[in-house]
């Protein structure tokens, strides 16, 4: 198929150097784009006329060897969260690399210490995917709590007979206590969407209390309190050394056995073996995951054998409109970094 991937150069319009009416055509800056991205971004890069774009022309991730080859001599890199940008990649790129623009809000795939050392600017795409991700998280919570995938399956396999009072019963949000771990942009957007369902209390935990939590009557509590009192627990924190493996055996053991756990942040926040045991042993009621480790999750993974675990393929921001806007923003971040001007969304670190 055409998706084995190949590197191709998308020549830019040769308008470079025509700034301030100077007609000397400057040298185009080399840019490497690690995957096919929505057209919105490619159009912006083309129209700018300041860069020569090499693209890994595939829907699939760029193999490591091709990434190391592609970045050679690049001044700009536009990457995805599946591309690990570490010392090896930065060394391969060489000293001309000025900017890394990632098509994501998360940046745990970037070695920020090393990037900072080299004075490279970083662009990312926060805010624009907040609504889509919050919406998907609510959909995942409802699907998990009300057992939608199980219901669909029963209809298809003939398990649906007569109406039964307790068949496929789940848990509702009305009158419930919701706990959000990480009340940042996305956590807050989730909270605002859940409150109209009749949630009684909204608890949140994290590094600091947030003034804006007042909008949803959020109560800042220690993690242990959140775990023992919540009917629904939503993880929406970023992946850091502190949050890596946060949701482990001890974490699940503090939850109610009727509680539903939802993660739409990063897979590595959860110890999946411990989650499997907690679900299997009835320590918690159900789990909905939009993120796993690894991604994709192998089809023979134990979690996929459980009826009370709903796993989605990391589609939090997957609406046509959101992905188009992310692509546009990533391209504009890249151009700002190349030209030494403001980036619409620069990561300050």
pLDDT tens-digit profile of 68-103? Answer: 999 999 999 999 999 999 999 999 999 999 999 999
- Check if the beta carbon of residue 166 is closer than 8 Å to that of residue 107: no
Provide the pLDDT for residue 5: 72
A 10 A CB-CB count for 8 gives: 11
Structure tokens at 12: 């830019």
- Interior angle at CA 43, CA 313 and CA 185, nearest 5: 45
Write the CATH number of the domain with boundaries 130-156+169-311. 3.40.50.720
- Report whether pLDDT(4) > 70: no
Q: Which residue intervals of the chain bear CATH 3.40.50.720?
A: 29-124+321-347, 130-156+169-311
- Per CATH, which fold does 29-124+321-347 belong to? Rossmann fold (3.40.50)
Residues 6+ positions from 36 with CB-CB distance below 8 Å: 55, 56, 57, 58, 59
Full-model pTM: 0.88
- Report whether pLDDT(16) > 90: no
- Report whether pLDDT(2) > 70: no
Residues 6+ positions from 147 with CB-CB distance below 8 Å: 168, 169, 170, 286
- What digits encode the pLDDT tens for the residues 96-128? 999 999 999 999 999 999 999 999 999 999 999
Q: Give yes or no for a cis peptide into 182 (omega within 30° of 0).
A: no
The mean per-residue pLDDT over the stretch 152-171 comes to 96
Provide the pLDDT for residue 7: 74
Q: Which residues are catalytic?
A: 314
- Report whether pLDDT(309) > 80: yes
- Report whether pLDDT(15) > 50: no
């Amino acid at each position: 198929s055409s998706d084995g991937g190949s590197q191709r150069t998308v020549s830019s319009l040769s308008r470079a150097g025509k700034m301030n009416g100077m007609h000397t055509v400057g040298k185009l800056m080399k840019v490497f784009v690690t995957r096919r991205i929505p057209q919105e971004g490619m159009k912006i890069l083309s129209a700018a006329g300041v860069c020569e774009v090499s693209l890994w022309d595939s829907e699939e991730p760029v193999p490591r060897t091709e990434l190391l080859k592609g970045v050679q001599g690049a001044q700009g890199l536009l990457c995805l969260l599946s591309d690990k940008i570490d010392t090896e990649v930065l060394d391969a790129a060489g000293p001309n690399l000025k900017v890394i623009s990632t098509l994501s809000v998360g940046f745990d795939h970037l070695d920020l210490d090393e990037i900072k050392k080299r004075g490279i600017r970083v662009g990312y795409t926060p805010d624009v995917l907040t609504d889509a991700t919050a919406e998907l998280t609510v959909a995942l919570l409802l699907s998990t709590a009300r057992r939608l995938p199980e219901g669909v399956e029963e209809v298809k396999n003939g398990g649906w007979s007569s109406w039964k009072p307790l068949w496929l019963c789940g848990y509702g949000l009305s009158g419930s206590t919701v706990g959000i771990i990480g009340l940042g942009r996305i956590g807050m957007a989730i909270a605002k969407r859940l409150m109209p369902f009749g949630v009684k209390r909204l608890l949140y935990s994290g590094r600091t209390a947030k003034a804006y939590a007042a909008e949803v009557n959020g109560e800042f509590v220690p993690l242990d309190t959140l775990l023992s009192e919540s009917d629904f627990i939503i993880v929406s924190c970023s992946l850091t050394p502190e949050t890596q493996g946060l949701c482990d055996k001890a974490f699940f053991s503090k939850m109610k056995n009727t509680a539903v756990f939802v993660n739409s942040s990063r897979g590595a926040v959860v110890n999946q073996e411990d989650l499997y045991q907690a679900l299997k042993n009835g320590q918690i009621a159900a789990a909905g995951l939009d993120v796993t480790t690894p991604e994709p999750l192998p089809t023979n993974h134990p979690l996929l054998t459980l009826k009370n675990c709903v796993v989605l393929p990391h589609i939090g921001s997957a609406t046509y409109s959101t992905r188009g806007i992310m692509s546009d923003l990533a391209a504009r971040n890249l151009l700002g970094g190349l030209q030494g001007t403001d980036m619409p969304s620069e990561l300050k670190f």
